[in-house]
Amino acid sequence: MDKVPQHIGIILDGNRRWAKARSKPTLFGHQKGFENLKTIANHAYEKGIKIMTVYAFSTENWNRSKEEVSYLMDLFKLMVTKEVKELDKNGIKLNILGNTRAFDDELQSGIKTAIKKTKNNTKGTLNVCLNYGGRAEILNAVKNIIKDKINPDKIDEKLFAKYLYTKDMPDPDLIIRTSGEQRLSGFLTWQSVYSEFYFPQKDWPAFTTKDLDKAIEEFQKRGRRFGGN
């Protein structure tokens, strides 16, 4: 009962619904969700979780209103400039997973600087998925394998995994999606095949450290099987 997942993934769902239920604008929900990420991440690392991967912006999220997308981009810029200082102070390594070439030069530069600044930190790792899609990640891996002219006979799961954004990381033990939705929506499509899933009803801004504790407790009760038993 004392086992703690080493890698958890969280789909940060429900910011807009949370705001609407309180007669607040959508942007207010995203702001609260951003603030909550810091709280939950700090608690996760204190619990002994080593890697936390969060789904913050999918390849489909570009279809939202220009105002909402612009606000989210501003939040991401804040994360890689101001908030990264706290991550670095706390010994947390920041990774951005996804096709970052679609972002403007300012955000791309901030991402590169933040990754470089925290690359040697060892207390924990925070992976933020931006402009990410599981199928897009797999297609990108296939293209790079072809580009490297790898002999097909040499391609196995271990080699393929090295071409993913999560190369050299263990697959997630536990994936949480808030707001009650029960699907992955392209989150860690390759990596999640043996993950345990947990779907709390709370929207992301309302998800507390106690809720994370409950998710871990539920994970500890499960008997994990990997097809061999």
Catalytic residues: 13, 61
From the CA atom positions of the chain, what is the Rg in Å? 18
Q: What letter represents residue 98's amino acid?
A: G
Q: How far is CA 74 from the centre of its chain?
A: 18
Give the 3-state secondary structure of the chain: CCCCCCEEEEECCCHHHHHHHCCCCHHHHHHHHHHHHHHHHHHHHHCCCCEEEEEEEECCHHHCCHHHHHHHHHHHHHHHHHHHHHHHHCCEEEEEECCHHHCCHHHHHHHHHHHHHHCCCCCEEEEEEEEECHHHHHHHHHHHHHHCCCCHHHCCHHHHHCCCCCCCCCCCCEEEEHHHCCCCCCCCCCCCCCCEEECCCCCHHHCCHHHHHHHHHHHHHCCCCCCCC
Q: Yes or no: say if 213 and 226 are a contact pair by the CB < 8 Å rule.
A: no
User: Bridge-partner residues for 126, per DSSP?
Assistant: 52, 94
